[in-house]
Structure 1
Amino acid sequence: MIVITAPTGNIGRRLLPLLLESAPARGEDLRVVVRDPARLPGPVRERVEVVTGSHGDAEVVDRAFEGADAVFWLVPPDASLTPADAYCGFTRPAAKALAAHGVGHVVGVSALGRGTPVAGHAGLVTASLDMDDLIAGTGVAYRALACPSFFENLLEEADSIREKGVFTDVVAADRRAPLVAVADVAAVAARLLLDRSWTGTGSVPVLGPRDLSPNDLARIMTEQFGRPVRYERQSLDDLHATLAGYGLNEAFVQGVVDMKRAKDDGLDAGVTRTPDTASPTTFEQWCARALTPAVLAWHLPAHP
């Protein structure tokens, strides 16, 4: 039995089809934990066992982990909480349930940065690494998918790119760093969940095919869209003011700012890309498939 948390999220909804394709042939049953089962596609609901509720709830994870051999663990960041509560606080009931039910293997979504000089002052990333330690402390075999920033973050900039030809971040324009497509993260998770010959604890970096800077992204987007796109560097103070203006928890806002500062200080640069840590989707491929339709959607004629 494989249990999948957050099955309707960016990674989970790409992971589920991969598991549904391979798990039944291996005699594996699938169980998902979801707040709203209606968000699961009908054909998926028919092929998985559904536990309704939040995987941050002790009663829910106790039911979900009973008889489980492996768990895919993803914490949806909650901007109403402090980083510690959003990650370790959310995960603590699951950690108890993992130990109580003797779950053998867990694959979790985490972040790059462990062992770097800035890891202890990296806001949300620091909290995510602490979560890894909490899960590993239960005695399960654990693999933390150590991810950089996702290509998909740029979808939040689609309106600005369309209307102004601009996207923003706080890192230096020429700082190259790994970036990854969430589909590639899902593929690595599926492989680990289906082949559980691994033991102990460790991290599995998922680094994308090459490092890219904001200037590189702007150049590629300009080529893809056929019109200029440029990068504007935002100050950390402006980022803080923008996030605080949304009424988010102050500690969570500071956690985002600290994470962004750490990324500009090289948080994601500590792992060497190898054939084992690289993943296949290029930014050009992802941009053509996902970002270009979002940015250029206004060019499409309306259907009658």
Structure 2
Amino acid sequence: MIVVTAPTGHIGTHLLDRLLAHREPVRVIARDPARLPAPVRDRVEVVQGSHRDTDVVDRAFAGADAVFWLMPAEPAASSIYQTYVGDSIPAAEAIVARQVPRVVVVSALGRGTQLYAGHASASWAMDDLLRSTGAHVRALANPTFMDNVARQVVSLADHGALTGTLPGDQKAPTVATADIAATAATLLADHTWTGQDTVNLLGPEDLSLNDQAAILTEVLGTPVRYERTDRRAYKQDLLGYGMSEAIAQGLIDMDTAKEHGLDTAVSRMPENTTPTTFRQWATDVVKPAVDARSDR
């Protein structure tokens, strides 16, 4: 039995498709099971509730051979460490109590850089908590998700602008969430690996935001430029969306750490290079979304 948390997110959706193709028995923890596509819902066991809840996690982990652990930040959390580490304590306790042998956890690049990196730093502490259970653990260490660009469909379609707070010429890796899911699925379906380790996922190329804008220009067939925004203004926007001071500042701290090399400390090698290019991802994901908005 494989247990999947956050099954309706970008990674979880891709992951379920792959696991079900392997015909693995799957159990999911879902706040709202109705958000699962009907064909998926009919083929998985659902434990309804939050994976921050002790009773929910304990029930879900019973008889589990492997757990996929993804902890999204709670937007209103009062502490960046509470939302990753504190909220993962029920999982650690259930892993021990239910003797779960293997855990695959979504994490971040940059461990060992001695940079404080907000959300990334808290995710490393979460990894350490899960490792402390004695289970076999693989932490999937990721750079910025390509999929974050999809949040800017309106800006791309209406204004031809890709925005961010990093220098436009700074090159760094990015990764597609589908590739994270593919790696997770392989690990979850394999009942032979042992020990505790980090699996870096770098994507196939380092690109700057100026590079991304140039690729989007070619893919969309309309000019796209990169516009660098002020971090203080960005933080105010985050607070305006309802984020707490701690969660908003955690994003700013992570962004600042990325400017200082958080995502570039690991060398790209065949074993940590995922296949999806930014161009292919933009063609498959961004272009249809922009075209649909343009046709409105």
> TM-score normalised to the size of structure 1?
0.95
Q: Distance in 2 between matches of 1:215 and 1:60?
A: 45
Q: 1:263 is matched with which residue: 258, 264, 268?
A: 258
Match in the other structure for 2:131: 136
Q: 2:289 is matched with which residue: 284, 294, 299?
A: 294
Amino acid at match of 1:95: A
CA deviation digits over 1:110-133, x for unaligned, max 9? 100001131xx1001100110000
Q: 2:49 is matched with which residue: 49, 53, 64?
A: 53
Q: Distance in 2 between matches of 1:242 and 1:42?
A: 36
Q: Is the contact made by 1:95 and 1:135 (CA closer than 8 Å) also made in structure 2?
A: yes
Match in the other structure for 1:69: 65
Match in the other structure for 1:95: 92
User: Which residues of 2 match residues 98-177 of structure 1 at below 5 A?
Assistant: 98-118=95-115, 121-177=116-172
Amino acid at match of 1:12: G
Q: 2:75 is matched with which residue: 79, 101, 110?
A: 79
* Greater mean deviation of Cα atoms: 94-103 or 196-205: 196-205
Match in the other structure for 2:209: 214
Match in the other structure for 1:188: 183
Q: Unpaired segments of 5 or more residues in structure 2? A: none
Q: Is the contact made by 1:122 and 1:261 (CA closer than 8 Å) also made in structure 2?
A: yes
User: Which residues of 2 match residues 3-18 of structure 1 at below 5 A?
Assistant: 3-18=3-18
Q: CA deviation at 1:254?
A: 0.8
Q: CA deviation at 1:33?
A: 0.8
Q: Distance in 2 between matches of 1:231 and 1:102?
A: 49
SS at match of 2:218: helix
Q: Is the contact made by 2:75 and 2:242 (CA closer than 8 Å) also made in structure 1?
A: no
Q: Unpaired segments of 5 or more residues in structure 1? A: none
CA deviation digits over 1:17-58, x for unaligned, max 9? 111111x3xxx4211111111111222122111111101100
Q: Distance in 1 between matches of 2:10 and 2:276?
A: 16
Q: CA deviation at 1:228?
A: 1.0
Aligned residue-pair number: 295
Give identity over the alignment, percent.
52
CA RMSD of aligned residues (A): 1.1
Match in the other structure for 1:225: 220
1:275 paired to 2:275: no
Q: Is the contact made by 2:29 and 2:48 (CA closer than 8 Å) also made in structure 1?
A: yes
Q: Is the contact made by 2:161 and 2:224 (CA closer than 8 Å) also made in structure 1?
A: yes
SS at match of 1:11: helix
Q: CA deviation at 1:296?
A: 2.3
Amino acid at match of 1:3: V
Q: Distance in 2 between matches of 1:214 and 1:137?
A: 38
Q: Is the contact made by 2:107 and 2:127 (CA closer than 8 Å) also made in structure 1?
A: yes
Q: CA deviation at 1:187?
A: 0.1
SS at match of 1:276: helix
Amino acid at match of 2:112: G
Match in the other structure for 2:196: 201
Q: Distance in 2 between matches of 1:41 and 1:245?
A: 32
Q: Is the contact made by 1:170 and 1:264 (CA closer than 8 Å) also made in structure 2?
A: no
1:248 paired to 2:240: no
Q: Distance in 1 between matches of 2:14 and 2:219?
A: 25
Q: Distance in 1 between matches of 2:144 and 2:16?
A: 22
> TM-score normalised to the size of structure 2?
0.97
Q: CA deviation at 1:232?
A: 0.9
Q: CA deviation at 1:246?
A: 2.5
Q: Distance in 2 between matches of 1:278 and 1:201?
A: 20
Q: Is the contact made by 2:106 and 2:141 (CA closer than 8 Å) also made in structure 1?
A: yes
Q: Distance in 2 between matches of 1:165 and 1:158?
A: 9
